[in-house]
Structure 1
Amino acid sequence: MDNREVIGSWLSGPRAAAEDMGIADVGYRGKRLGLPEEGPGSLASPGRRLGALFIDWAYSSVIAFGLLSGRELHTTSNWALVVFLVVSLLTVGTVGSTPGKRLLGLRVVSLNNLGRLPLWRVLVRTVLLGLAVPALIWDRDNRGLHDQLSGAVQVRV
């Protein structure tokens, strides 16, 4: 193996390097979960998920600001988190998606049967999401630790 191959595998990441060496056929993201590669039911892209998070955080901040009648900004951000978590718990628990996810065509489903997530799992997911760190730890299918521990997956509608 010459130096260009080594550098190329390093820049492409471990997934590409493993596939190039024939060690593993990882396939597309979501393949090992039994999800289709594209279209409805396929794994939600990180861009759409972050977009939905931005939308959800924006309206949560507006609601918190309105509830506090424009009091101190640092207090508003704390209440925005509370609003965000309550809305997430209620909407994912009932219709399977937050308003931001719904606008971007995403849904949170149970990995077992791709149906609605049981309420206790939605609660676990929401608590972990509120801690933020689990949501920042992803696996090779781009599922956050909060989704992994709650048995959830975010798919395209």
Structure 2
Amino acid sequence: MPDAKPTTFGDLQPSKWPGERLGLPESGRGSVGRVGRRIAALLIDWASAMLLALLFTPYDSVAYNFVTPLVFVVLQIVFIPTIGGSIGHRLLGMAVVPLEGGWIGIRRPVVRSLLLIIVVPALVWDSDQRGFHDKVAGTVLIRSR
């Protein structure tokens, strides 16, 4: 049966570009945000969290090591539903959107951010360049411009 539809993940044909299976364009606005932009946005977001954490704890204290990730998560949870992405995402022309469309809500940014902070899910990607944290949250990081 050559016309049979694939039934398992191993039977799926490789994507021609990241986001093809999600119905996203190959490049430009609406395409999957690529690795370089993602890493740069993460660095911007982490630096912002480090600076804001200094308002609460001195840099050389043990508490600073716990406050910085907490500030990072709070920034993600606040900005993803309100401005469509973190400060880093928006500065680099990206947005976090739910796969089924509509407003992203609060649950998705919470799940995504808590998984992101433990790092490993962000290192596990699928062929659409979506990290495990995005897959679990039902989101995708796309180019907004």
Q: TM-score range by the shorter chain?
A: 0.7 to 0.9
Kept in 1: contact 2:98–2:139 (CA 8 A): yes
Which position in structure 2 is the counterpart of 1:18?
Answer: none
Between the aligned partners of 1:60 and 1:153, the Cα distance in structure 2 is 23
Kept in 2: contact 1:96–1:116 (CA 8 A): no
Deviation at 1:134, TM superposition (A): 1.2
Per residue, is there more helix in 1 or in 2? 1
Q: 1:88 aligned to 2:76?
A: yes
Which position in structure 2 is the counterpart of 1:147?
Answer: 134
- Runs of 4+ that moved beyond 2 A: 23-26
Deviation at 1:77, TM superposition (A): 2.6
SS at match of 1:43: coil
Letter matched to residue 68 of structure 1: T
Trace 1:101-116 onto structure 2 (pairs within 5 A).
101-113=89-101, 115-116=102-103
SS at match of 1:67: coil
TM-score by length of 1: 0.78
SS at match of 2:30: coil
Unaligned runs of 5+ in 2: 1-11
Kept in 1: contact 2:99–2:139 (CA 8 A): yes
**What is the CA deviation profile of residues 68-112 of structure 1, one whole-angstrom value per residue up to 9, with x for unaligned ones?**
13442x432321100000010010122211111111001000111
Q: 1:31 aligned to 2:23?
A: no
Alignment length, in residue pairs? 133
Which position in structure 1 is the counterpart of 2:4?
Answer: none
Aligned-residue Cα RMSD (Å) equals 1.6
Bigger radius of gyration:
1
TM-score by length of 2: 0.85
Which position in structure 2 is the counterpart of 1:19?
Answer: none
Between the aligned partners of 1:71 and 1:110, the Cα distance in structure 2 is 39
Between the aligned partners of 1:55 and 1:25, the Cα distance in structure 2 is 33
**What is the CA deviation profile of residues 94-138 of structure 1, one whole-angstrom value per residue up to 9, with x for unaligned ones?**
22111111110010001112x431211222112211222211111
| Structure with the larger RCO, 1 or 2 (CA within 8 Å, 6+ apart) | 2
Which position in structure 2 is the counterpart of 1:125?
Answer: 112
Which position in structure 2 is the counterpart of 1:3?
Answer: none
Between the aligned partners of 1:130 and 1:26, the Cα distance in structure 2 is 28
